[in-house]
Each structure stands twice: as C-alpha cells, then as structure tokens.
Amino acid sequence: MSIKVAILGFGTVGSSVARILCDLKPQGVELTHIFNRSVARKRAEWVPSTVTWTESFDEVLASDANVIVELVGGLDPAGEWVRRALEAGKSAVTGNKKLIAQHGVELDRIARAHGASLFYGAAVAGGIPVIPGLQHGLAGDQVTRLEGILNGTCNYILSRMEEGAQFADVLKDAQSLGYAEANPSEDVDGYDARAKLVILSRIALRADLAVEDIPVRTITSIAAIDFEYAGELSCTIRQISRAETRGGALLATVGPMLVPKNSPLAWSRGTENMVLVGGKYGGDVVFSGHGAGGHPTAVAVVSDLITLAHGSGNIDLPSRKAEVSGEFLLRHYIRFVVKDRPGIVGEIAGALAGEQINIHALFQRPGFGKDSLPFVVTVEPCTNSALKRALAKISSAEWLAEPPLDLQILEPEEPLK
Amino acid sequence: MSIKVAILGFGTVGSSVARILCDLKPQGVELTHIFNRSVARKRAEWVPSTVTWTESFDEVLASDANVIVELVGGLDPAGEWVRRALEAGKSAVTGNKKLIAQHGVELDRIARAHGASLFYGAAVAGGIPVIPGLQHGLAGDQVTRLEGILNGTCNYILSRMEEGAQFADVLKDAQSLGYAEANPSEDVDGYDARAKLVILSRIALRADLAVEDIPVRTITSIAAIDFEYAGELSCTIRQISRAETRGGALLATVGPMLVPKNSPLAWSRGTENMVLVGGKYGGDVVFSGHGAGGHPTAVAVVSDLITLAHGSGNIDLPSRKAEVSGEFLLRHYIRFVVKDRPGIVGEIAGALAGEQINIHALFQRPGFGKDSLPFVVTVEPCTNSALKRALAKISSAEWLAEPPLDLQILEPEEPLK
Ligand SMILES: NC(=O)c1ccc[n+]([C@@H]2O[C@H](COP(=O)([O-])OP(=O)(O)OC[C@H]3O[C@@H](n4cnc5c(N)ncnc54)[C@H](OP(=O)(O)O)[C@@H]3O)[C@@H](O)[C@H]2O)c1
Ligand SMILES: NC(=O)c1ccc[n+]([C@@H]2O[C@H](COP(=O)([O-])OP(=O)(O)OC[C@H]3O[C@@H](n4cnc5c(N)ncnc54)[C@H](OP(=O)(O)O)[C@@H]3O)[C@@H](O)[C@H]2O)c1
C-alpha cells in the first residue's frame, strides 16, 4: 500500500515532517499537499515541485491525498478538519495532544466507522516511542501505573533550579530559548502535561478520563529552599504526571513532587521527557528522550506514516470511562515560612493529629531570620484532602509568613532515610 | 481477525504466555494447542480443557491453529518447525534470539513469500518494547547508533562487583538464583548479547551482520581493582553491545567497557536491560526494564499476538548486508599488573608511541606489593588493532606479572576529568 500525504500546518513540526520525508523518502509515503494560511510566505525550495501548496482545506479534502497530517494545533478549526477528513475515509496523523485528550475517543470512533485510522504517536513525549511501545509492545501486559515527566519546559526549569538557579531567571531563559511561551501557564500550571496523561491513561490503563477531573498544581510555588530541603530527604523536585489503578478506582494527578534521587525520574535533565510504565507481568519499563522540538516530534509523525503505509491499522484496545480521584495515599512534604515564636510546631502537630496524620520528621536549616523562617515537616502517608483540612485549621494563624506549600513524595523504592 | 494459537515449548516462557492468555483473555487471541515433548508431565489444571496438549508437531501443523509461538529455543529442531509453519502460511512468534540472529533474514523472506508474518519482539530485551518501539515509533528516523545492556546476567555480575563483590562469588549467586547457566559462557563471553545486537542492528541500522563477524570480549577478566580504577575516572564497568554506522562502514562490538557514571547505561542495576538508540533527527532515546524472566518475556510474546490479531503484518524495513569492523576510535583503559622495577612506564610509553597512541593519564593506587603491582594507563582515542599491536611489543616483557587488560571507554558526554 502506498499513501498520499497532505500536511496541514507548515510550522515547526509540519516543516520538519516535510524535511524528513524529502530526505529519507520512506517507501510508500508520498507527500502531495501542504496546507497553511497565507501559504505563499511558507514555500520552501527544498520541497519537490510535485507538491501542491494550498490555503484551501476543501482542496485537500477533494484531492487524492488519503492521509492528512494535522500539525496546526488547537481545538478549532484543527479538530473540525480532522473530523471531516476521517468522515471522508482519509486516515489522520496528528501531534495535537489537546485535541486527542478532549476528543480522542470520539475521533477514534469516527475513524473506525469510516474504515480510516487515526494515529497520534507525536501527541505525547514527541520523539520517544511511548505510544507505539504501549500499543505494540505492552498490550500483552496489564498496566497498573504510569509516572511521567511529560512537559519539557517544567523539567528544564526544575532541573536548572536544582542546580541553584532562581525560577524567574530560568523562566526567562526558557522563553528566550523557545522552550516556553510568553504566557507559560499551559506548561508551568500543568495543563499541557495533563492532556498527555489523559492520552497515556487511555492507551495504557484503558481508562477514559475527563481532562478537567485530574487535579493540577503549578510549579510556580517551588522556591530554591525547597530543593535544599528535598536534598536532605535524598530527593529532588520534578513535575510528575501520575496515574494508577487501585482496586476499581483511578488515581491521577499532575504537579511538582518530591522524587527520590534513586528513581530514574530524578535523572531527567533539561527538556528531556521520561515515562515509567508499571505492569503486572512485565514490571517497570522506562522510556526517555527528547519530548519536543520539531525534528524529534516529526520522527513520531513520520513513523506513524510508515506504519500506515505498511497497511497497519489502529490497535484498538478497549477503554472505558473512569472516575478520577487525586487521593493518592502518599507521604507529604510541607514547607512552612513563619514568623518565629514558641509553640508553632505544637500547633501544627495538633492540626495534623486532628486528621490522624503522623509527623515523620522535621527539618530546619540555619541562617534565616526570625521573621521569615522556613522549615519543613514531612508526614506519613495521607491523602491530599486530609492534609488540606489539617492545613485549613492553621491557615489564619498569625505566625504564618506565607501559605504553606505541600508536595507529595513519590513513593521511594527504598525507605527515605 | 481472530487468531488460533499453538504454543511450542511449555517451559519458563511458554507457560507464562499460556498463563497471561488465560488471565487477560485478549480479544481475538485463542489458545488452541500446547506442544512439548513428554507432554503428560506438563499438563496444568489452569489451562482450559479446550486446549489440545500434544507431542506431535505434525498435529499442530495439520491443525487449524494459524499462529505458532516457538518457545523451545535453539537452532534445531525449533528453526525447522518455524520454517515449516511459515511455509504452511501460519504466522510465527518467537523469542529465539539465536534463530533470528542466524536465520532471521531468510525466515522473514519465507514468511513474506507465504503471506505469513514473523514476529520476534521477545528475542531482544524481553519485556522492554525495543523492537516494536523501533519498528513503529522510530522508523521515521535514521538511526546511526545503538548502545545496549543486553545481557541481564552480565549486568547482575558487574553491578554486584561494582558494589565490592568478587566475580566468582557473584557468579555462584547468579547460578543459584537461576540467572546464569551451569556453563555461563553464552552469557559472560558475550555470545548471547551478540545475537541480540545482530537483531537490533537489522531493525535499527538496516544492516544484516554475520554473527561471527562481531568481535566479543569476555567479562571474566574484570577484577575488583578495575572498578576502583574505573571509579577514579568517574566510570563504572558494564557489558556493552554497541553498533554504529560511520560513513559507509559499520562498527560493532560486545564486551566489558568503561561507562561514564553520568551515562544512563551506568545506572542499570541487577538483571536490568537498557537500550540507547541514537537517531539523526530524534536524538537519543533510552528504553529500560526487565530483559528476561518468564513473565516479562511473555508480555512481549502476547503483545506480538495482539498485534497479529489486529491484522497488523510485519513492518518490513529494507536492510542490506554489511561488513563489520570492531575498529571504534575510542579512548582505552589499560590495566597492567607488574613486578615493579624502574623503566616500566618508559617501555609502555615507547610501545604505544610506536603506534602513534598518546597516553592520557596514569593511575596507581597505594597498598600493593612490588611483586604484583596493578596500575592503569589511559590513552587517547585509538583503534583496538593499533593498541593490540602496541601491547604485543611488550607481551613478553619479564616485568609483566599477568597479561594487560584493555577496555574501551564509552565516549563520555562530557570530557573525562
Ligand atoms: N513544537 C513541538 O515541539 C511539538 C511537540 C509535540 C507536539 N506538538 C504539537 O504539534 C502541533 C503543531 O505544533 P508546532 O510547534 O509545529 O506549531 P506552529 O509552529 O505554530 O505551527 C502551526 C502551523 O499551523 C499554521 N496554522 C495555524 N492556524 C492555522 C489556521 N487557522 N489555518 C491555517 N494554518 C494555520 C500556522 O501558520 P502561521 O505561521 O500563519 O501561524 C503554522 O504554520 C500542535 O498541536 C502541537 O501541540 C508540537
Ligand atoms: N527465559 C527467559 O528469560 C528468556 C528471555 C528471552 C528469550 N527467551 C527465549 O525463549 C525461548 C524459551 O526459553 P525458556 O527459558 O522458556 O526455555 P525452557 O524453560 O527450557 O523451555 C523450553 C521448553 O521447550 C521444550 N523442548 C525443548 N526441546 C524440545 C524438543 N526437541 N521437543 C519438544 N519440546 C522441547 C522443553 O521441554 P523439557 O521440559 O522436556 O526440556 C521446555 O518445556 C528460548 O529461545 C530463549 O532464548 C527466554
């Protein structure tokens, strides 16, 4: 089988896809159309003259291209274009995590109904073959746990902060390097990673989650001092996307967490992505590599095209709607910044005890003034909501110099010292 | 499409495959036959009574089973059975690395000629989806480099030695834990890893290598002192399987190497396997997990069966015959054990200089007697053969207490200190 490919969106990833197709000329994959608004300014001399450049999606739809590659991004109009292509029996390949997280189940259904295929290997972890690995290499396991570093921008920021840099400075660097948008909320507040976690959960845990149901926490509240205290616990801090089946329930959350330094997740540096998949039969498998960037992401797109050209359809593994809870039973790290006076620890202990939460340890570094004294309490496994109730009780204490920061501690493989 | 499956060989992996099929009941995959010699003693009560137990391969061949799962092992008769099944138009799934390394190209051809598929995801790195990841997720890249920890037994031995244990003791432990055979040569001398490197090279580098062409080195010559010296170079020692395209040539080798501690390959522990794939467009991707064991290996087999049941055939990426050379241009570590007397270093330097090899550094730990004094010389990048010629010149020096040990140093990401 040979496929004729139309690329929608000739931006960072779209132009890399065209570049790889022109360089490697994979057998059975022919680039026929490139679609973009104001397409004239996009024309590149290295694209063969046989390729049609167009500003009209209808022209693409009416053409003999039988696969569209959607790299426009966003829900609208990209979603509408994918839907119309599938309804016309054309297969689609996309890197649009937002679209697949929100509408993947429905689009999969439309594809099936029209004898088409929908591939989105590029939507999660760019050039790392997590999705094909899960669909073709781990379908024979029962996956019960996912832990991932799914946002390269957060990982760049946190791994630089680990080395001593300040949040604001690193964010500025990330923006000037093109890793972060002018408005970084999508990345730092966890929305980008959450969309990817929804997609992975569907494939690995066979659970359809509603995006909004997964609690997110921002990394903007992490300060340099937190890396110092994390270090005392043999941990670092990373933005972790986590989902786990426990009994019939599904736990999922995205946000900064303490990660033990002996965990592979702590070894990720820079914009690297990493995904850990825990299976009942095969144990833990880890994937890592470049999660973003035009070329790595384009590798995933071109790989999907090659799979299609070999006549392979989707591996449809049945998934079902699942309720999400963020109530992992985990140890927590709580950083207080207080105006020092006697009795504070007693009040904190009392508030925690009221929710049956046991203190595990207390850390206080020297060298801070009495007016703004940071110290850390770690607690035995408890749920987020129990901890929230406990902290609410002391939220108006006059000795609090700022609201406390609580972070889950990723279950270590060996007990924390 | 639904497939009817016959398992050949009800041993460690074969029985795990049956177990997972009975537990998970993947859609479209039906277990119909189990074949083994003296099959009566193999019968298990948890296998459904609809399954036929047989000692006759001809019965399997004549049956309506349309997929055979070969988990007997060895070239003969397993290879003959796979060939006959493919010729009868049945697809085959195998975990037999020896067979696929030696005869994979030919068996692939037979499969294609008879409209059948041949899958061997379990043949390399057991439960880690390296093969499906390469075929479905990295086909869109041009892979130029493979570095792997492909033998769990060697990794168990070397990572235990890193912590201070002696080779002989660890080997005994590995044998009693079932990680190593009574005759461990297949593992420790590199033959097992070499077969896997041949398979990965075919898929990732599109190069058909003759197994015997790849130079192997044993790990049995590594002593505790080598870990101490490696540590001074911020390195550890691992059995590394390595293949790289450089210009038109293909470099490949298997054996113990010095691995910088900041490389992911140095983080592997116990029987873990790890594969690093370097691509022109996507950069480095790392896979890690359990490379062996009944259940993890069975996950790969069952995943292949699910892929088949979804009607996906082989992704045939064209490969071509390639000449192998072991002549990586790498730094080396050379450990001498000498009867100390003045002038030795001068003689070594002279022998190396005769081959244009530059000394990089010299290390000597205190606390050894004059009669059996170990010290280490590191040299700037050179080929194995140049180094071999240089060492030959001093091979009969009366001050050598034992033959020198030379190891390649895996190119570090940052310069060695
Ligand atoms: N970049 C990455 O590293 C990465 C990684 C993984 C996944 N992805 C996903 O890949 C997709 C594309 O990302 P990207 O980084 O390549 O984005 P990009 O550089 O902004 O490219 C988008 C392209 O689509 C065009 N476009 C946008 N809206 C359009 C419209 N209404 N009509 C016609 N053309 C339109 C843009 O044209 P203009 O030039 O006129 O704006 C641009 O050429 C997104 O879904 C993204 O989430 C990206
Ligand atoms: N074990 C692992 O972790 C692992 C990992 C990756 C790949 N593999 C590969 O998977 C394959 C199977 O390995 P395994 O560990 O499962 O081996 P195993 O435990 O020795 O099982 C082999 C089975 O085949 C049967 N058998 C052997 N020769 C036979 C013959 N001539 N006729 C009929 N039955 C015969 C054996 O029966 P008897 O009981 O009578 O000997 C046994 O039940 C090998 O190719 C191996 O390289 C294994």
pLDDT in tens, B275-334: 999 999 999 999 999 988 999 999 999 999 999 999 888 887 888 999 898 888 999 999
Please calculate the CA angle B374-B376-B380 and round it to the nearest 5 degrees: 165
In angstroms, what is the span from residue A140 Cα to ligand 2's centroid? 20
Instruction: Give residue-wise pLDDT tens across range B130-158.
Output: 999 999 999 999 999 999 999 999 999 99
Q: Which residues contact B248 (CB under 8 A, 6 or more apart)?
A: none
Same domain, B262 and B147: yes
For residue B298, being part of any structural domain is answered with no
Q: Give alpha helix (H) positions in B310-395.
A: 344-353, 384-393
- Residue A3: CB atoms within 10 Å: 22
List chain B residues with CB under 8 Å of A295. Answer: 281-283
What pLDDT does residue B30 have?
98
User: Residue whose CA is closest, atom 44 of ligand 1?
Assistant: A73
Given A4, A25, A196, A339, the catalytic residue: A196
Same domain, A80 and A151: no
Assess whether pLDDT exceeds 90 at residue B415: no
For residue A308, being part of any structural domain is answered with no
Please calculate the CA angle B155-B160-B165 and round it to the nearest 5 degrees: 140
| Residue A256's pLDDT band (cuts 50, 70, 90) | very high
User: Residue whose CA is closest, atom 20 of ligand 1?
Assistant: A11
B98 touches chain A (CB under 8 A): no
What pLDDT does residue A271 have?
93
What pLDDT does residue B411 have?
79
Interface of A with B in 2-31 (CB under 8 A): 16, 20, 23-24, 26-27
Share of chain A above pLDDT 90, in %: 88
Same domain, A88 and A137: no
Assess whether pLDDT exceeds 60 at residue B185: yes
First vs last Cα of chain B: how many Å apart? Answer: 58
- Name the least confident of A122-126, A355-359, B208-212, B409-413: B409-413
Assess whether pLDDT exceeds 50 at residue B416: no
What pLDDT does residue A416 have?
41
| Among B34, B42, B28, CA closest to B6 | B34
What pLDDT does residue B348 have?
97
Testing the interface with A: which of B200, B274, B285, B307 to mutate, by most A Cβ within 10 A? B285
B315 touches chain A (CB under 8 A): yes
Between CA B178 and CA B176 the distance in angstroms is 5
What pLDDT does residue B78 have?
98
Q: Which residues contact B266 (CB under 8 A, 6 or more apart)?
A: B235, B236, B238, B259, B260
Residues A40-52 have a mean pLDDT of: 97
Same domain, A83 and A18: yes
Do residues B287 and A287 make contact, with C-beta atoms less than 8 angstroms apart? yes
Residue A128 identity (one-letter amino acid): I
Bridge-based pairing state of the strands A330-338 and A359-363: unpaired
Instruction: Give residue-wise pLDDT tens across range A388-403.
Output: 999 999 999 999 999 9
Between CA B193 and CA B239 the distance in angstroms is 9
Length of chain B: 417
- This prediction's pTM: 0.96
The complex scores an ipTM of 0.94
What pLDDT does residue B381 have?
94
Q: How many CA atoms within 13 Å lie on the side-chain side of A405?
A: 26
Q: Do B134 and A129 touch (CB under 8 A)?
A: yes
- Residue B107: CB atoms within 10 Å: 21
Long-range Cβ contacts of B354-360 (<8 Å, 24+ apart): B354/B390, B354/B393, B355/B382, B355/B386, B355/B387, B355/B389, B355/B390, B356/B382, B356/B386, B357/B382, B357/B386, B357/B387, B357/B390, B360/B331, B360/B416
Same domain, B37 and B148: no
| CATH number of the domain encompassing residue A220 | 3.30.360.10
For residue B301, being part of any structural domain is answered with no
Same domain, B195 and B243: yes
Between CA B101 and CA B196 the distance in angstroms is 7
| CATH number of the domain encompassing residue A402 | 3.30.70.260
Assess whether pLDDT exceeds 90 at residue A135: yes
For residue A278, being part of any structural domain is answered with yes
For residue B310, being part of any structural domain is answered with no
Between CA B333 and CA B154 the distance in angstroms is 20
Does B77 sit behind a cis peptide bond, omega within 30 degrees of 0 on the bond before it? Answer: yes
Assess whether pLDDT exceeds 60 at residue A417: no
The domain boundary residue, chosen from A63, A85, A119: A119
Share of chain A above pLDDT 70, in %: 98
Split into its structural domains, chain B has a count of 3
Residue B225 identity (one-letter amino acid): I
The domain boundary residue, chosen from B91, B119, B147: B119
For residue A94, being part of any structural domain is answered with yes
Query: What is the pLDDT of chain B when averaged over all its residues?
Result: 94
State the residue for tokens 């490197």: B197
Question: Closest partner residue to B129 among A137, A267, A281, by Cβ?
Answer: A137
- Residue B97: CB atoms within 10 Å: 24
| Among B198, B215, B196, CA closest to B207 | B198
Same domain, A49 and A192: no
Task: Return the SS3 of A123.
Answer: helix
β-sheet bridge partners, residue A388: none
- Tokens representing B96 are 């037999």
Same domain, B57 and B169: no
Instruction: Give residue-wise pLDDT tens across range A201-217.
Output: 999 999 999 999 999 99
Residue A153 identity (one-letter amino acid): T
Distances (CA, A) of B315 to A102, A307, B136, B275: 31, 7, 8, 20
Distances (CA, A) of B306 to A117, A134, B4, B18, B29: 17, 12, 12, 14, 7
Between CA A252 and CA A216 the distance in angstroms is 9
What pLDDT does residue B63 have?
98
B261 touches chain A (CB under 8 A): no
Distances (CA, A) of A370 to A109, A343, A375, A401: 61, 14, 11, 10
Between CA B395 and CA B392 the distance in angstroms is 5
Q: Do B286 and A287 touch (CB under 8 A)?
A: yes
What pLDDT does residue B414 have?
41
| Residue A315's pLDDT band (cuts 50, 70, 90) | confident
State the residue for tokens 């004094």: B373
Same domain, B145 and B111: no
What pLDDT does residue A326 have?
86
Same domain, B113 and B181: no
Four-CA torsion A185, A186, A188, A190, nearest 10 degrees? 130
Assess whether pLDDT exceeds 80 at residue A248: no
For residue A306, being part of any structural domain is answered with no
Do residues A199 and A90 make contact, with C-beta atoms less than 8 angstroms apart? no
Same domain, A255 and A183: yes
Assess whether pLDDT exceeds 80 at residue B194: yes
For residue A32, being part of any structural domain is answered with yes
Do residues B362 and B375 make contact, with C-beta atoms less than 8 angstroms apart? yes
Closest ligand, as measured to the CA of A293? 1
The domain boundary residue, chosen from A71, A98, A119: A119
Residues B391-416 have a mean pLDDT of: 85
Between CA A236 and CA B357 the distance in angstroms is 43
Q: Do B318 and A27 touch (CB under 8 A)?
A: yes
| CATH number of the domain encompassing residue B10 | 3.40.50.720
Q: Rounded to a whole number, what is the distance in Å from the CA of A275 to chain B's nearest CA?
A: 10
What pLDDT does residue B413 have?
43
What pLDDT does residue B412 have?
54
Length of chain A: 417
Instruction: Give residue-wise pLDDT tens across range A188-199.
Output: 999 999 999 999
- Tokens representing A247 are 């009994």
User: Residue whose CA is closest, atom 27 of ligand 2?
Assistant: B72
Q: Which atom number of ligand 1 is nearest to the Cα of residue A73?
A: 45
What pLDDT does residue A411 have?
79
Same domain, A111 and A169: no
In angstroms, what is the span from residue B181 Cα to ligand 2's centroid? 13
Assess whether pLDDT exceeds 70 at residue A413: no
Q: Do B307 and A315 touch (CB under 8 A)?
A: yes
Phi then psi dihedrals of residue B176, to 5 deg: -70, -25
What's the domain range around A47? 3-119
Q: Rounded to a whole number, what is the distance in Å from the CA of B150 to chain A's nearest CA?
A: 15
Distances (CA, A) of B7 to A300, B23, B78, B94, B128: 34, 16, 12, 10, 21
Burial of B215 (0-12, 13-18, 19+ CB in 10 A): middle
Quick one: angle between helices A78-87 and A97-113, nearest 10? Answer: 20
Do residues B265 and B274 make contact, with C-beta atoms less than 8 angstroms apart? yes
| Among A171, A169, A237, A206, CA closest to A376 | A237
State the residue for tokens 């499906």: B132
Is the four-CA dihedral B254, B255, B261, B264 of positive or negative sign? positive
Assess whether pLDDT exceeds 60 at residue A415: no
Between CA B259 and CA B262 the distance in angstroms is 8
Bridge-based pairing state of the strands B324-325 and B249-260: parallel
What pLDDT does residue A412 have?
54
B97 is catalytic: no
